Structure 1
Amino acid sequence: MAKFQPLADAVRDNLNDGDVVAFEGFTHLIPHAAAHEAIRQGRKGLTVIRMTPDLIYDQLIGMGMVKKMIFSYAGNPGVGLLRRMRDAVENGWPQPLELEEHSHAAMANAYEAGAAGLPCAVFRGYRGAELAQVNHNVRSVTCPFTGEVLAAVPAVRPDVAFIHAQKADRKGNVLIEGILGVQKEAVLAAKRSVVTVEEVVEDLDAHPNACLLPNWTVGSICQVPGGAHPSYAHGYYGRDNAYYIAWDKIAADRETFSSWMEENVLNAGPEVFADRVGKLRSAA
């Protein structure tokens, strides 16, 4: 049953050194505030999972928190590289980073398998692709009914999943509107889960079938207005494109990156997200 907590308490209770963790979101509702709290708490030795790791994973990697990343695309959307990720892979700064790369189809199926409690995902994929030559977790199985050779990958089963959503009611039911990625599957696949939301309301004001995560599926809920910034939250605020463009230069230099993280993450709490979104709205 969902427990309402301040973000710092939820991260402290659910994320441990060495955990396998997913910070999931797709285009919008990316849980930046939750990732920043994990950075403030200095977690180490993490294996991070995400279909589309972007800025928050660049920040986690640059802060020396990540030993391995399991993913299907990595980049600063619309801008280019993840520079802290590249520095870790090419130069081992601040520490070496192990990569396990998959296709989007593989990751989506792996999350669904994890949510269903299955050991692996079986699907049509990787035909003619060479990724299996460098990823030992891409394998094949033969269908016992048709003889067709299919791709197989391990199920994704995080220790903890973090997502952001628009609303939760006071019973702990969670509503997500707009584009969906694998947020539901990530929560269902994980041993523990933390959902940050824009607001807590008396009633979701939605059809029961629109409630993406009923309260019995969720571990902790934290009210963090603006918690997806600089990504957008459908119905609440838009994407901060200037932030993404600026990040490329910030992340390109180690000292600039470290100074920015000190000022904007280590010495700043979740309340800054609401302030940033307020400024974004004022400028619109």
Structure 2
Amino acid sequence: MASADTGTPTGPTGPAGPASRRDKTMSMRDAVAAFVTDGATVCLEGFTHLVPTAAGHEIIRQRRRNLTVVRMTADIVVDQMIAGDCVSVLVSSFVGNSSAGSLGELRRRIEEGRLEFHEYSHYGMIARYLAGAQRLPFYPVRSYAGSDLPSINPGIAAVTSPYPAADGSSERVHVVPPVNPDVTIVHAQRADRAGNTQIWGLTGIQAEAVYAAERAIVVVEEIVDDEVVRSDPNRTVIPAHAVDAVVVCPYGAHPSFAQGYYDRDGAFYREWSAISKDRDRLAAWLEEWVHGTADHAGYVAKLGRERRERLSVADAFSLPVNYGKRKGP
């Protein structure tokens, strides 16, 4: 198991062959219990859209400790996990409350020296996932030239290109190490029971993050039949062979959005700044909304019907595509 931020996994990602067709559906509680252990490196990905909030809440409920959390855009769910005493190391390229304010607990812990923070650029994080997914020892990033990030992050190194330039000179290029999480957790719109996972709308680095990890949990709004997935295979961003568990969790990305299912809860993001600014108020929120609910269904019920109706979306169907098939035998 690769528990270090720059570790290399010892085995393949997920099951392969016929085993990839087995039913991998699990409850959120069982999936987190099985694959998220104390001290693990846990990746949570989803860029603004499809943030795996419900999975973060379950990690808090199970009181996991000393996690290294890898997330390109550390946002509300990371703030909550830090406040829940789950996180000792954060690897990220952005921290903030999605244009609505700051993350109070994240800031406090860094200022108090209680949270180790490894900062990369957005593309630096993408490069780390690409290196991890491809099992490369590092990945070059030209855009660090002129940046002060290499001076504050020893994980960003520089190497001499083995290929001389046209004038015969040797170029120095910055490189970043792979990230190989123990487990990656992503949220998506739908999957079949084997784990063929479909995403549409705003996508991020989910596929690479899954392939970089030793294990993968996919949380979805709904399970669909194999025929639904096969009817539109280009939407399958993550294939079954890379998935270890499929969790059905409606509204599991709240307060972010799931395209076609519910809208972004802008009011929640605005409310969060005041909540996280006050440590006591934040602790009370966690006690009421996370520890005080048995699971995400309880959280959703607590949101109330009126709030959920405000987040409902109208239909906007994509036009059908003719994939074609052979005629005759």
TM-score (structure 1 length as normaliser): 0.95
| SS of alignment partner, residue 128 of structure 1 | coil
For structure 1, the 5+ residue unaligned runs are none
CA distance in 2, matches of 1:155, 1:106: 10
Note the residue ranges of structure 2 that are not aligned, 5 or more in a row: 1-19, 165-169, 312-329
CA 151–197 in structure 1, closer or farther in 2 if over 3 Å, else same: same
Matches within 5 A, 1:243-282: 243-268=268-293, 269-272=295-298, 274-275=300-301, 276=303, 278-282=305-309
After superposing on structure 2, the runs of 4+ consecutive aligned residues of structure 1 that deviate more than 6 Å are none
Aligned positions, number? 281
Q: Which residue of 1 aligns with 2:4?
A: none
Pairs within 5 Å for 1:97-246:
97-146=115-164, 147-202=170-225, 203-204=228-229, 206-246=231-271
Q: Is the 8 A contact 1:125 1:150 kept in 2?
A: no
Partner of 2:262, secondary structure, is coil
Measure, in 1, the Cα distance between the counterparts of 2:211 and 2:299.
Answer: 27
> Partner residue of 1:67?
88
Q: 1:213-270, CA deviations, whole angstroms, 9 ceiling, x for partnerless residues?
A: 1111101000000100000001110000000010111111111111110000011111
Q: Deviations over 1:162-206 (max 9, x none)?
A: 100000113321101111111111111001111110000112264
Counterparts in 2 of 1:40-55, with a 5 A limit? 40-55=61-76
2:143 partner letter = G
1:80 is aligned to 2:106: no
Q: Letter of the aligned partner of 1:226 in structure 2?
A: Y
Which stretch of structure 1 is more off in the superposition, 65-74 or 140-149?
140-149
**TM-aligned CA deviation for residue 273 of structure 1:** 5.0
Q: Counterpart of 2:31?
A: 10
Whichever residue aligns with residue 201 of structure 1, its letter is V
Shift of 1:148: 2.3
Higher Rg of the two aligned structures: 2
The alignment partner of 1:115 has SS state of helix
Q: How many angstroms does 1:23 deviate by?
A: 0.9
TM-score (norm 2): 0.82
In structure 2, C-alpha distance between the alignment counterparts of 1:90 and 1:115, rounded to whole Å: 33
Q: Name the amino acid aligned to 1:110.
A: R
Per-residue CA deviation, residues 126-157 of structure 1 (Å, 9 max, x unaligned), is: 11111111110111112111332211011111
RMSD: 1.5
CA contact (8 A) 1:229 1:273 kept: no
